Structure 1
């Protein structure tokens, strides 16, 4: 008998439809695995949200765990003569500043030549430049170098001197090389010499600052020190950037004239940082509440409802925030106006915080920072958060555990799918055998019916 190529042809039964139903029923075994994978993925995502909120709170805590932060100052300048930048060691106060002279850099001009591209030396030589009487910088000058070549060599030498070419409009020799010291002040005067003074270039490049003897070059701008007074005290500076005239403040002189500098503790930044500490913790608590929520009406639940890791996070943070931070003026959070609420959030009394900042900033700093980085309230909280967030820490271990479970589920899914495929293949083989058997039975039945009909005809039976 011919082989049956499609199920049901031999038997007339819908064996393909039946096989599809059996296949669908078998694949239902995969649904719980897929659902569990999705659940674990949701929990991993939830841990990511938790980790982000914990990291933000750690950033806020770390900001308060810096003793220098509580020593920060603001500086305000009235007047345009100076600008100011204060450091952490700046002394608060009011300073009257009078700038009478700005520091200037020396400039030297060589005699003019007719063409800035014409060769000025027939043989190679050495140009020596020095600033402030220091060790000179030797610059190799190639033979047949022009004024432009000399300029470029000086600018590439790093000698602390900038060279440029000026056209002064002279009818015969308009091109003059101008050297300007990169530093200001009287201690940055320049000396210039060339190894072949008899050459045309040697005749141009010569200046001796000692005793004001000069040379062939002309001093077009004299070096000068800055002169100013701070609260009536005269100060001289080689530079227009003045350090030390006001403790911990760098003054930048912009013009002659007067200005007033007010240096104050940056209380606003401290208050803002403490508020940021409270706000970031409350955002963390809000995220935890969202991840552990349960709606009795709909049955919807947060991804980490009943999660042991999250309960540990809450417990450790409450212990840290509810503990003591030393034996100073302020010992617990409530002493600085921060109270832990029943729902786990923090509430800030801004008036109490303002009083602490205005009246005892040093004690407030000690409360948050302690004697060392791990001693104060911010340090203790930061340490707890660090252990939670570090590689191999509480959150990372829980996340990795879920990833491992998803991997094992993936392997289980693959094995189950292979078993399903084997089962369906077995069903298909059995159905093919059934189809063939029924086809044979139908063929035999038809043959016997035909024989019986022939026998009946022979016997004269209708």
Structure 2
């Protein structure tokens, strides 16, 4: 009997189609697992969105948990010629600043030499630089190598970090001069004189008086008080304020005041970040009755716990200070759970009593104010052993377990389909044999009828 190589050939039945239908029916057992996998993956993605909003809220909280924010000052310069920057040590006030002269660095050039190739130094050559103004002087000595040209001397000066000057070579159209510039401004660092010893025979190199530019201190007056400074960055003339002088002969007004804008911006940022968090939670826990669609975290215990703990801290306020609740700052809780700011009330408090606001948000230490309490709560919720991490880990573990179940179910289905294929193959062969027997018997009966017919 011929071997059947394809299902249905022997029997004439569509056994391959039947196998496919049975396989589809068996694989239907995988659909519930796939739906659970998708649900857990969607939950992990939703936790990620929630965590992003929590992180943004914690960043906004952290800015209010810094007492220096409420002590910050701003400077406003009216006029030209200076810039001003205040630190926490500054005191609010108004100052008139007139700049008479800017600080300048001194410079000096030597007598000229005819060629850059001329050897200028012999053995034990040195260069001595004198700095200062009047009788108050200082010196720097630079040892020079024998056989040095003007370019070599320039390089050796620039390589000496203690020289206090930078060196260059200038061609004045007749010859070459060594030009020295003080590294810093001010009269005390002005170059008074240069002196060479140990020059090569026949060589002279000395200060050229006509090329000397004396270094100067900056001269200004602040509210009528004369101030001198060796640099154009003047510190201490106004307490806690650094003045940067930019133009001689300029007059400006410097106003130092509390930086109310920074406080208002950060309080508004706090409210905005909380409202974004609340909107995210509402979206993830929503339910639409018309379409019967639900958010990925509807009924999730993690979200309920986070909301409950944050509401508890926000509603609890701070005890012991002039301000104890958010409503006293003009921040109220709306019916939809978001926060709303009364800008007029907040601006009045910021302008009049930043210390009270500082005590409310920042407190006397990092945990004392409302911001500190919120930061502690958020850190606990999102820490390595916190609720968010454990919830995400739980969903990931469930996905891993579902993956294992899926693989096992697939293997079971394949074995079942293989068993069906074997049984159908046997059935196909059996029907094929029966068909052959039937055909044989039909032929025999037909032959018998024929013989009987002839005998008649």
Q: Deviations over 1:103-126 (max 9, x none)?
A: 111112111122235443466856
The counterpart of 1:165, out of the listed 162, 169, 175, is 169
1:433-462 C-alpha deviation (Å, 9 max, x unpaired): 111111111112222222333344444489
Q: What does residue 231 of structure 2 align with?
A: 239
Q: Does 1:290 align with 2:283?
A: yes
Give yes or no for the alignment of 1:79 onto 2:82. Answer: no
Aligned ranges 1:274-285 → 2 under 5 Å: 274-285=267-278
Distance in 2 (CA, whole Å) between partners of 1:138 and 1:410 is 78
Residue 269 of structure 1: which of 262, 275, 282 is its match?
Answer: 262
Task: Give the structure 2 partner of residue 186 of structure 1.
Answer: 187
Contact 1:131 1:181 in 2 (8 A): no
TM-score for both structures, normalised by structure 2: 0.91
Equivalence for 1:211: none
Query: Are the structure 2 counterparts of residues 439 and 122 from structure 1 closer, same or farther at C-alpha, using a change threshold of 3 Å?
Result: farther
* Cα deviation code 1:289-326 (max 9, x no counterpart): 11111111110111111111001110111011111323
Q: CA–CA distance in 2 between the matches of 1:201 and 1:459?
A: 154
Whole-Å separation in 1 of the counterparts to 2:392 and 2:266? 31
Q: TM-score, normalised by structure 1?
A: 0.90
Per the TM alignment, residue 281 of structure 1 is displaced from its structure 2 partner at its CA by 0.9
CA contact (8 A) 2:191 2:214 kept: no
Matched, 1:348 2:314: no
Deviates most, 112-121 or 78-87: 112-121
Cα distance change of structure 1 residues 416 and 200 upon mapping to structure 2, 3 Å threshold: farther
CA contact (8 A) 1:118 1:146 kept: yes
Structure 1 match to 2:52: 52
| 1:193/1:202 contact within 8 Å kept | no
Q: Distance in 1 between matches of 2:451 and 2:138?
A: 142
Equivalent residues in 2 for 1:21-170, closer than 5 Å: 21-121=21-121, 136=140, 138=142, 141-159=144-162, 160-170=164-174
Aligned residues: 449
Tell me if structure 1 keeps the 8 A contact 2:142–2:157: no
Matched residues in 1 for 2:202 and 2:43: separation?
Answer: 80
Q: Matched residues in 1 for 2:145 and 2:12: separation?
A: 105
Q: Does 1:422 align with 2:426?
A: no
Deviates more, 1:155-164 or 1:192-201: 192-201
Partner in structure 2 of residue 230 of structure 1: 222
Range moving further from structure 2, 192-201 or 265-274: 192-201
Given candidates 373, 379, 384, the residue that maps to 2:372 is 379
**Cross-structure match for 1:370:** 363
Please list every run of 5 or more consecutive structure 1 residues that lacks an aligned counterpart in the other structure. 207-214
2:288 counterpart SS class? coil
Check conservation: 1:104, 1:223, Cα contact below 8 A: yes
3-state SS, counterpart of residue 198 of structure 2:
coil
Matches of 1:315 and 1:143, distance apart in 2: 83
Q: 1:458 to 1:318 in 2, by over 3 A?
A: same
Separation in 2, partners of 1:25, 1:200: 110
Instruction: Output the CA distance in 2 between the equivalents of 1:180 and 1:86.
Output: 32
CA distance in 2, matches of 1:414, 1:135: 86
Residue 340 of structure 2 aligns to a residue whose secondary structure is strand
CA contact (8 A) 2:130 2:194 kept: no
Q: Structure 2: where are the runs of 5+ without partners?
A: none
User: For 1:221, what is the secondary structure of its paired residue?
Assistant: coil
Q: Cα offset for 1:389? A: 2.5
